A and B are shown apart, each in its own frame.
Chain A
Amino acid sequence: MTPVTADPIISVRDLHRDYRRPRTSLRRPGLVVRALRGVSLDVAPGEKFGIVGESGSGKSTLLRLIAALEAPTSGQVEVLGRSVVGRSERDLGFLRTSLQLVFQDPMSSLDPRMRVRDIVAEPLLAQSHSRGEREDRVCEVLTAVGLGHEAAHRYPHQFSGGQRQRISLARALAPGPRILIADEPVSALDVSLRAQVLNLITDLVESFDLTLVFVSHDLAVVRHVCDRVAVMHEGKIVEQGLTADVYDAPQHPYTQRLVRAVPTLRRALAGATAHDLTASGHRDFPTTGDDPPRAPSRRTSERP
């Protein structure tokens, strides 16, 4: 499988995004946090592309820029061959139907006062479908995610965590997107539900012919789901390649540390201890011994 055979469906070039933190002094302006520092990547149509990184690595910022939820400081983002940078919301209609997002915590992304049928139909309202078409579509996507159509009349709080994530997926599928972006979709789920939702995502990507961008801190999950992966650290992509290659033979010291830190059953049963997960053996790496620096809400460098 060569990385890019057709024209990329998502193309990101030298993307930068700076955030200015609130000022803490009258005399000095607030600090600038460089959340993204020159990110470039291509995602081919039909590809399952993973983005791995820890908190503060810039992965969520990257998603927000690809989805044109905010504007980059500099750089280019093209989706389906059209630039999304600098467009008004009115001009982004194509993106809103062709690219959909699913987030980690379904409860905070589902309106508790709306019935499931209204939640799922909401993305269709902007597309001037008739009422009947909307109802058919809601029924269709609810069935596709494994919820019966009787689910349509209930409220989100009546569902378990795994079922709520199915509702989020149904809403994402409703407008018939070509790209599905999933931001930590299984991180809040228990082991048995995680397997069910991962299988469902794989099924949906196949049956709806989607391109998947899957963001996670869990390298093992990304390895299972994705063909290719980009590892992010401190606002940069430090390593990119086929998932199996990156996982089995990580090249960058950060990726090596990340792979090493993930506890696995096999290694644990072979005698690996908690100490073996830590970075003690990699003293040469700059952030060894402390938490990775993260974007806002951190104060490692300016304690009293």
Chain B
Amino acid sequence: MTTPVSAVLTVDGLTVHVGSTTLVDDVDLQIRGGERVGLIGESGSGKTLTALGILGLLPEGLVANGRVHLAGVDHDLVGASERQLAQVRGRHLAMVFQEPMTALNPSMRVGAQVAEALTIHGNQTERAARRAAVELLGQVRLPDPAALARAYPHQLSGGQRQRVVLAIALANDPALLICDEPSTALDVTVQAQVLDLVVAGVEARAAALLFITHDLAVVATVCERVLVMYGGRVVEAGTVHDVLTAPRHPYTRGLLAASDLDRTDERGRLVTIAGSVPPAGRFPAGCVFRNRCPRATVGCEEVPPWTGPDRDAGFACFHPHGPGA
């Protein structure tokens, strides 16, 4: 794992607050060029807020602290002005969200929307950009891209729309692509195609990928490394293989057991995690998972330190499961 490739994205102590409530707590993360890293966790674990914090797209009232450095950008993304961020987003850093209809302009033909991404950030002429847009739509394997470029978003299916969004995201060959549940709202066969395109798109550009999902099977298919979030903190990290075959943190273990539909008890019931994810700001102090954890003790009222060689691999737990268990 010690490739000499330099980091594309370095996140250092990213914290997101609203008022006195901490929503994302001290997230460290590094992604190198060509690396595909997954961020997994349930709703309310802070994975989307982490992405929005990196992008500088947090909703009104939420404040990010910490450092976010992106290769090729000479200033910190946290605290950067909107003017600075507008230069970065879409050129160095691109994103694909879950719902493509909200990302596309409903009153603009899709070809023009792809071309817009090119003219805003490059010095291409309108005409060259339109031609390049058709080519990009072809790259995401949309049938008859020349005709499709003249369609409006509502005339396309969900899968086709998500491909248009991906074409826009990849238009300027960004160094980092952030995908937030890009295939969750799609049918399984369409999801397969979109995932394939995301992986092919970042591979062709040797770009870094930060892939957010709640689906363990999807993250295992797409990514090489994974970070598990719960209660706004990274509770475990490592290679997909290590984390998903020999989880150390009880939460990761619970998540894996609950998603395994082939594993049942003697009554044919699935394994569950006790309780449910508390609302934001209602997580216990100390270890955020301790009120649902079968291994919790009084000692867990302290925040567990990170155990592991670096922030790319390790866990934050006082009572981890043994390696290879």
- By a beta-carbon cutoff of 8 Å, the part of chain A in contact with chain B is 54-55, 160-163, 190-196, 198-199, 202-203, 217-221, 223-224, 257-258, 260-265, 267-269, 272-275, 277-279, 289-292, 294, 298-300, 303-304
Contact = CB atoms under 8 A, between A and B. Distances in A.
Contacts of B241: 269
Most chain A C-beta atoms within 10 Å of own C-beta, residue among B195, B260, B261: B261
Contacts of A258: 188-189
7 contacts: A192-B254, A195-B270, A217-B188, A263-B191, A278-B193, A303-B144, A303-B147
Given A192-B42, A221-B261, A274-B199, A291 B190 contact: yes
B148 interface: yes
A270 to B, nearest CB: 10
Nearest to A276: B221
B198 interface: yes
B55 interface: no
B87 interface: no
A272 B276 contact: no
B7 interface: no
A292 B189 contact: yes
A219 B157 CA distance: 22
B189 A199 contact: no
B196 A275 contact: yes
A287 B159 CA distance: 14
Contacts of B270: 195, 198-199, 224
Which of the listed residues A161, A162, A290 has the most CB atoms from chain B within 10 Å of its own CB?
A290
Nearest to B152: A304
- Lowest 8 A-B CB distances belong to which pairs? A268-B220, A277-B192, A54-B187, A274-B195, A263-B217, A190-B42, A195-B270, A261-B192
A191 B192 contact: no
A278 B196 CA distance: 7
B214 interface: yes
A203 B269 CA distance: 9
Given A54-B190, A198-B270, A263-B220, 5 more contacts: A194-B259, A218-B188, A261-B191, A264-B217, A275-B200
Contacts of A292: 187, 189-190
Nearest to B279: A160
Nearest to A160: B276
Contacts of A55: 158, 187
Given A160-B276, A192-B273, A198-B270, A279 B189 contact: yes
A235 to B, nearest CB: 15
Nearest to A254: B189
A146 to B, nearest CB: 11
A203 B272 CA distance: 14
The winner among A162, A163, A262 for most chain B CB atoms within 10 A is A262
Interface residues of B, number: 57
Interface string B57-96: 0000000000000000000000000000000000000000
A140 B221 CA distance: 44
A34 to B, nearest CB: 18
Contacts of B43: 161, 190
A269 B220 contact: yes
B261 A261 contact: no
A199 B240 CA distance: 28
A39 B42 CA distance: 38
Contact of B192 (A196, A217, A268, A278): A278
A259 B147 CA distance: 32
Given A217-B188, A263-B215, A272-B221, A194 B258 contact: yes
Contacts of A191: 42, 214-216, 255, 258-259
Contact of A269 (B193, B245, B277): B245
Contacts of B220: 263, 265, 268-269
Contacts of A289: 141, 143
B232 to A, nearest CB: 16
Contacts of B150: 303-304
A162 B196 CA distance: 31
Interface in B15-46: 42-43
B322 interface: no
Contacts of A268: 217, 220-221, 240
A277 to B, nearest CB: 4
Interface string B179-214: 000000001111111011011100000000000001
Interface in B231-263: 240-241, 244-245, 254-256, 258-262
B151 interface: yes
A273 B200 CA distance: 11
Interface in B139-188: 141, 143-144, 147-148, 150-151, 155-160, 187-188
Contacts of A219: 188
Contacts of A202: 268-269
Contact of B196 (A195, A223, A260, A277): A277
Contact of B187 (A194, A196, A221, A291): A291
Contacts of B279: 160
A87 B24 CA distance: 56
A304 B151 contact: yes
Contacts of A299: 155-156
B293 interface: no
A292 to B, nearest CB: 6
A221 B200 CA distance: 29
